[in-house]
A and B are shown apart, each in its own frame.
Chain A
Amino acid sequence: MSDIPGDLKFLKSHEWARLEDNGTVTVGISDHAQSALGDLVYVELPSVGDTIEAGNGAAVVESVKAASDVYAPVSGTVIAVNESLSDKPETINQDAYGEGWMFVLKPSNTAELDELLTPDDYAEQLDTE
């Protein structure tokens, strides 16, 4: 397992969120999640402009093994999606916390970020799983 970057926050269901300097929030799935899913073959992303509620399904990742919903860590409006994942879903397997980002939200309530798990809390959850 690679180290978990310190500037990320997590959902128990293995999504990560990063508050960017410009106030937007980038979302992806954790390295643990990609490893558990195995080789990804399809990624279904939201559309730019979609309004998303925290905790609701926002995207789907599908591996050779299984399909899995990706939940929104915070509420907001989708302002960008990682189009390159359509052709190269394996990017998430290779770099879950970097090039494998999935979409960017303009958050409607940044206080929701405080309810997410810190990297340490998330790592602890993985240990007890």
Chain B
Amino acid sequence: MLKKTPLHAAHLAANAKMVDFGGWEMPLNYGSQLEEHHLVRRGAGMFDVSHMTVVDLHGERVRAFLSELLANDVAKLKVSGKALYSCMLTEQGGVIDDLIVYFQDEQFFRMVVNAATRDKDLDWLARHATRFGVTLTERRDLAMIAVQGPDARRLVAGLFGAETRARVEKLGKFVGAEAEGLFVARTGYTGEDGFEIMVPETRAIEFWNQLLAVGVKPAGLGARDTLRLEAGMNLYGQDMDETVSPFEAALAWTVALEPATRHFIGRDALVRQKSAGVPREMIGIVLDDKGVMRHGQKVLTPAGDGEVLSGTFSPTLGKSIALARVPVGAGEALQVDIRGKAVPVRRVKFPFVRDGKPQPGI
């Protein structure tokens, strides 16, 4: 039996094509994935992301707990509402999950983790929480709607009364705040501006319909995947997992090795890997010819074989893009084995697309 989000009925009403997504019955598209993709790049679209797991962490030593558990440093969170993206690592430095944590107050942080990793994440958190006297509360009572696109913030803010609206309009990037019983955060997974909004499940359909009424159209998980890949954002389970360190997944920027006095789980392994030399790296590639690169295809390089992690057709660029993991020193002369044919591809910097625009050199 597949799990359903509080917005399930709204998806059926919008003629969504529903699919099994890690045990959840979720909308893949509402007719055309490409149209939904362009809608988010050019206007605004909304995604039901209620399958994601929200966990509230309470306790006197919650900051110390997160300082130990996360590779990024929660000491960076000084203002209430501020968010931090981080990996949670094994002792061996492998990625258990990537997540966002919001600082509320010194006794309360809120964490959002992936749906597919819920069970192991909660087990891992619970295993370490006791030592710090931290209590975990999963917020299954919250639905989550991501409204993304250049028009997203304006359309969402317009739904609130004057005083709240002013606050919502002023929210800085990667900051969240309470807004008339909702939690509105300026975060996302598309490379566009916008909000991710936590809504009590009892109000989810009503809020969804309010968004529909002001012209925000629904977009499915298909578009969410092409949008995040264009934006060069990792997908857990596809671009990284417990066999990969953040350094091998282009996530070095999320690892805070300074101050050296802060111990976190996985730190020793990362320091060792860094001094020994990281063996593999994650790169961006573009295929200028026809064809689409897909997960699992082989990348042929002079330094040995690599692998396509996430590959797709980029609707914004009109050609295929991919994230790949290759041996360090693979150089520029790369080919991808697409259905038995070795096709030359171009190594590029990513993100491929940011704020609606193809990036230089793509």
Contact = CB atoms under 8 A, between A and B. Distances in A.
Interface of A: 35, 38-39, 41-42, 44, 62, 64-67, 90, 93
A67 B29 CA distance: 18
Contacts of A42: 290-292, 313
A39 B34 contact: yes
Contacts, number: 35
29 contacts: A35-B17, A38-B28, A38-B33, A38-B222, A39-B32, A39-B33, A39-B34, A41-B34, A41-B292, A42-B291, A42-B313, A44-B290, A62-B291, A62-B292, A64-B33, A64-B34, A64-B222, A64-B226, A64-B312, A64-B313, A64-B315, A65-B33, A65-B222, A66-B294, A67-B292, A67-B294, A67-B339, A90-B34, A93-B32
A39 B28 CA distance: 12
Interface string B328-355: 0000000000010000000000000000
A44 to B, nearest CB: 7
Interface residues of B, number: 16
Interface of B: 17, 28-29, 32-34, 222, 226, 290-292, 294, 312-313, 315, 339
Contacts of A64: 33-34, 222, 226, 292, 312-313, 315
A38 B291 contact: no
Contacts of B313: 41-42, 62, 64
B269 to A, nearest CB: 36
B182 to A, nearest CB: 32
Contacts of B29: 38
Nearest to A90: B34
Closest 10 CB pairs of A and B: A39-B34, A41-B313, A64-B313, A39-B33, A42-B290, A62-B292, A64-B33, A38-B33, A39-B32, A64-B312
